[in-house]
Amino acid sequence: MYPEMPSIRVTALRLRLEGNTGYAGEWKGPYKLLSVDGETCTIQFPNGPKQFRITVVRPYYKAPDENDQNTDSEHTNEGPEVPSGTNSTPPTPQDDESDTPTPQARPAQRPQRNRQLLAWYRDDLIQSVFAQFDQSQEKEINGLLENGVFEVVKVDDIPEGTRIFNSWFVNEIKNPGTDKAFEKSRLVVQAYNDKGKEIILTQSPTIQRCSQRLLLCLTTCITNTHLFLRDVTQAYVQSTTPLARNNFYIRTPPELVHLFPPGTILKVVKPLYGIPEAGNHWFRTYHVHHTDKLNMTTSTYDPCLLHCIDQSQGFGIVGMQTDDTLILADNAFANREENEIKRANILCKLREKLTPSNPLKFNGGLIAEDAQGITLTQERTCKLIRSVQDRHADTTSSRGKVRKDVSPQEQYVAQRALGAYIASVSQPEASFDLSFAAQITNPEKDDIKSLNKRLQWQLDNAERGLRFVRLDLDSLRLVIFVDSCFANNKDFSSQIGFVIVLSDAANNANIVHWSSIKCKRVTRSVLASELYAMVHGFDSAASIKSNQQQRSFYISLSPFPLLSALTRRAYTNASSN
């Protein structure tokens, strides 16, 4: 169940239908809610009951001055009151000639059930769960109006045929159970069925995992630098560029209709959460801030990895992940970054610094520091892994959402994706098994058993991750370990993979990148599969080397070699022939 459903005072519900629903004409509700089964609501319509997802059903709010009526009570006849325990049929006069009265059979009375809605829909529950979010919701709306995110316009001024989207509040209590707990509300546009997003760019770049590991590796190697984390609040609404679409309208959330004049609607003029292209607007705003204000340039292969190009302004490398920023900098650049973010009036939380007592949470991982170096783990994410059942079963998401009667195939896809995400960030040992599992479209019992074995390993080794140690900068070298498995997949295709490490003369090494994928080309020999693996690994290593050489001048690094380690004799055998 959704958290907003308990304790809502409601006598009827309105059904919110968006887009091409197939229902012609205007809305003629409210309609009566019959029952709620999990995430399915049964609504009474004139032509019979129908079922809908709980996400499209909303309470029907009455005006405060209206008199509530009990919608569950049945209409009664306005005849004279009949005493309890007597037949409702009026008595008939008895025949005078009859000495003994004829006994009359009393009709059987059906037991009356106390029919009422579920507890969270009953009228006698006056206190609403939304009452505690009234102030946070008004604060959110007032802040958006002050920032010029949307304008209040009349409904009559909207061009005919323009689509109007719904909006809703995401309410959450931050820091629950502590003295720092507070209510937070965020207005989100329900634009998941936006047809206009097909003609605009909606995908914004995020930092590559390899770039994130390179930052951690350099943190342990470069002296007189520190690792910081910057968290921007309400990032999307702080974008400085207007929406390219000038006809984007949303309805006022039902909780705050009373704050706006009747017959008005909201026109969105700046990016807002839920709008498909909002991420791109924020990326441009934040990226321009770093390139123009901080005098930084983008790396050769990752637009979210930037470094300072003026050595006199300090040393700094920045990795951007939407509203989170990982910063490796000395004191000069760190002070300048702090001053520029304030001068730009970008709202953000206090900047955090990595210390042995203060780990950083970035991009789903935990970055911790100890005497041996820096570790990157995903223990919290690993604990979300569940074994795949070979039958239909109920599942629970990371947000506590329960899905009923999920098929084994759906369980297989969901758990494999979760395990593959963890393997791509901090557990390279699991990459091969999860890549192999991704090729299965209709899993059988043996496939489920193999996947569960790897998932159980990840669950048992939740604290296992990557460790980055200090390296000698004068003897750095980039080493690629490549390998392939010829025709080992079920469709007789080959599996190719590599591991790239940054090491020094003392054989200390830090893993910076790895991959295990199905070869996209048909290979007819072991030599061919090995060559494809070598080319695949060399391309990635060459990009990393080029990126490091781009900033090597600013950290006094001499160009380091690129080495490739081969694991089979196929190359030597082929050359001897």
Mean pLDDT of 418-444: 93
For the stretch 145-155, pLDDT in tens is 888 888 888 88
Task: Give, as one character, the DSSP assignment of residue 321.
Answer: E
Read off the pLDDT of residues 12-24 as tens digits, 9 standing for 90 and up: 444 444 444 444 4
Cα(408)–Cα(507) distance, integer angstroms: 45
Res 572 pLDDT > 60: no
Helices 526-552, 209-221: inter-axial angle, 10-degree rounding = 50
In angstroms, the CA 500 to CA 408 distance is 36
Distance CA 334, CA 169 (A): 36
3-state secondary structure of 544: helix
* Token representation of residue 549: 């050489």
Instruction: Give yes or no for residue 3 having a pLDDT over 50.
Output: no
Angle at 141 between CA 152 and CA 172, to 5 degrees: 145
H helix or E strand, kind and range, residue 409 = helix 408-425
Instruction: Answer whether 250's CB lies under 8 Å from 189's CB.
Output: yes
- Mean pLDDT throughout 310-329? 91
Q: Which amino acid is at 92?
A: T
User: Which pLDDT does position 219 carry in this prediction?
Assistant: 93
Distance CA 189, CA 165 (A): 7
Give me the amino acid identity at 378. Q
Name residues whose C-beta falls within 8 Å of residue 95's C-beta, 6 or more positions apart in sequence. none
Q: Which amino acid is at 49?
A: P
pLDDT given for residue 286 in this prediction = 94
Higher pLDDT among residues 10 and 269, named by residue: 269
**Residue 557: predicted pLDDT:** 58
Q: CB of 494 within 8 A of CB of 523?
A: yes
Q: Report the distance separating Cα 376 and Cα 367, nearest Å.
A: 5
Average pLDDT over residues 305-326: 90
Which pLDDT score, from 0 to 100, does residue 169 have?
86
The predicted-structure confidence for 331-357, as pLDDT tens digits, reads as follows: 999 999 999 999 999 989 999 999 999
Give pLDDT, residue 512: 93
DSSP classification of residue 69: -
CA distance from start to end of the chain: 68
The per-residue pLDDT for 203 is 81
Question: Which of these, 512, 143, 58, lies nearest to 305 by C-alpha position?
Answer: 512
Predicted confidence (pLDDT) per residue in 39-88, tens digit = 788 888 887 888 887 777 777 766 555 444 444 434 433 444 434 444 44
Which pLDDT band holds residue 7 (cuts at 50, 70, 90)?
very low
Phi, then psi, of 392 in degrees rounded to 5: -65, 135
| pLDDT, tens digit (0-9, with 9 covering 90-100), for 391-424 | 998 888 776 778 888 999 999 999 999 999 999 9
Residue 62, pLDDT score: 60
Q: CA torsion angle for 137, 140, 143, 144 (degrees, to 10)?
A: -110
Helical H segments across 102-191, by residue range: 134-146
Task: List, in sequence order, every residue forming a beta bridge with 360; answer none if it has no partner.
Answer: 367
Structural contact between residues 3 and 48, judged by C-beta atoms closer than 8 angstroms:
no
Sheet holding 324-329, edge to edge: 296-298, 305-308, 316-321, 324-329, 226-231, 352-353
Handedness of CA 537, 538, 543, 545 (dihedral sign): positive
Rounded mean pLDDT of 521-536?
Answer: 87
Q: Where are the domains of the chain?
A: 12-59, 377-466, 470-566
Q: Please name the residue that has the structure tokens 């409601």.
A: 10
DSSP H or E segment with residue 213: helix 209-221
pLDDT digits 0-9 by tens, 276-297? 888 999 999 999 999 999 999 9
Output the six-digit token pair for 372. 């041996």
Cross-strand pairs, 43:
33, 50
- Give dist(CA 554, CA 306) in Å, integer: 13
Mean pLDDT: which of 93-102, 164-173, 563-572 is highest? 164-173
Question: What sign for the dihedral angle of Cα 344, 348, 350, 352?
Answer: negative
Inform me whether the pLDDT recorded for 128 exceeds 70: no
| Contact criterion met (CB below 8 Å) for 162 and 249 | yes
Looking at the predicted structure, is the pLDDT value of residue 317 above 90? yes
pLDDT-derived band at 27, boundaries 50, 70, 90: low
Residue 93: the pLDDT is 44
The yes-or-no verdict on residue 29 having pLDDT over 60 is: yes
Task: Name the pLDDT band for 181 (thresholds 50, 70, 90).
Answer: confident
Residue 136 pLDDT: 85
Is residue 497 within 8 A of residue 515, CB to CB? The reply is yes
Mean pLDDT of the chain: 80
**Chain centroid offset of residue 510 CA:** 30
Q: Are strands 509-518 and 495-503 parallel, antiparallel or unpaired?
A: antiparallel
**pLDDT exceeds cutoff 80 at 506:** yes
* Residue 212 predicted with pLDDT over 70: yes
